Structure 1
């Protein structure tokens, strides 16, 4: 596994396992399968409703909690609701701390929500805090008004939306770029069929999905692909097994459509 170092010195795996839209009854089995495949970083959210399933799989693994990096997202508004939601999430997961807790979407109460996360760090309930789906201006406003620079901004990022405008902002603020939907969800099959992707896959004896993930991780972007298929889980994790040239990475920039699906 490769790691990125957050702005507070904590190391985070560059590949994690996403649980968005994983059915509640299937979450524990899917996460247990991912743990067996080698994943140690898991991404969930209050709004997903599957925090308990993630937690039960981790507890059942027999692996020490310190070996895992658990991220959840708060779907709350304001200080009090966020503080209460933090404790409820910890209870559902069966752990006494998060490695990362982030604001799922910006709201009018984002500053107070973020202050609750900062206090969660002081209380030892969270190791690192961040945001998701914040644009450049929202991110700058939050940094200006807060004591803690977010560790990550988790935003939709893939071959067709490379976030080239956000990238320099994140680098300037020393915020890790984390990609949700790194395989573009509905457009994933289209990306995988591109001749350029097919040729790179053939060259490196990789799958097209591995090429698409490696395109991001080679740029230091954290990815959290989701799959309930054990072969795909293993394959996604194995995408770190080759390195493309700088020229090959640059050649893929032409596919950026600069917008979401």
Structure 2
């Protein structure tokens, strides 16, 4: 089984660079799907309260027979819980059936509610308690990050943002790098909302390396230093997405894929 590289976080912990996401995974199917992912070799699982499938993730962990310390589990604080983050965290932990999570994220800044600084101060308490080993944010842009850094004590360990070849968020990723914040990429394959796999820059590299276009894009993320968690309900696709450690894209191939940037957001804007 391939050994997944780990990214060192700014708080001394480390995170597996390739994980498995359960966004839009049917709660009734989650235990089976996550069990398949764990059997394939994934040890990093990314869920959220709003996905409605934390209990299914927890059941798969309980049934896996794996030691807790072998796993890296992330969940997230939803927008309407910013003013009651400690209670929301307790509820997530209970659904997961865990004593702690490895990473707890503010899911969106939700600036219209203007409570994300308050929420972050609660996350600082959770980190202090050890029940959230690392804390971070999701969908935070430069302005949101600047405010957190100015008004609170702990720099986020990660920022999980929409990131794929057509939408690379260079300003946010540069700010994160400057402040030691690791970048996690959601929608790493663009959700099929544009013909990424048919683009010659991707299809050509796939042909060169005898890999699928999806494997090429995942490999591009890994070589860029992103933490990435593609999702699939199919075990064969999970295994394919995991089989990305036996080849390397050339500098020219990397550059050609990076040049696909066009501010092509496919998800919601963080300010909305």
| Corresponding residue for residue 7 of structure 1 | 10
Distance between the aligned counterparts of 1:246 and 1:2, measured in 2? 20
Kindly report the root-mean-square deviation, in angstroms, between the aligned alpha carbons of the 2 structures: 1.2
Give deviations 1:79-126, integer Å, cap 9, x for gaps.
651000111110100001010000001031001111111101111210
Q: 2:171 aligns with which of 162, 165, 174?
A: 165
Where 2:193 maps in the other structure, the secondary structure is helix
Q: How many residues align?
A: 260
Spell out the pairing of 1:39-78 with structure 2 (5 A cutoff): 39-77=42-80
Alignment of 1:17-166 (within 5 A): 17-77=20-80, 81-107=84-110, 108-166=114-172
Whether 2:209 is the aligned partner of 1:204: answer yes
Q: Is the 8 A contact 2:158 2:183 kept in 1?
A: yes
**What are the within-5 Å matches in structure 2 for residues 219-238 of structure 1?**
219-238=224-243
Question: Any idea what SS the aligned residue of 1:101 has?
Answer: strand
Aligned partner of 1:258 in structure 2 is 263
Q: Deviations over 1:212-233 (max 9, x none)?
A: 1111110100111110111110
Structure 2: any 5+ residue segments left out of the alignment? 267-272
Q: Which runs of 5+ in 1 are unaligned?
A: none
CA distance in 1, matches of 2:203, 2:82: 49
TM-score normalised by L of structure 2: 0.93
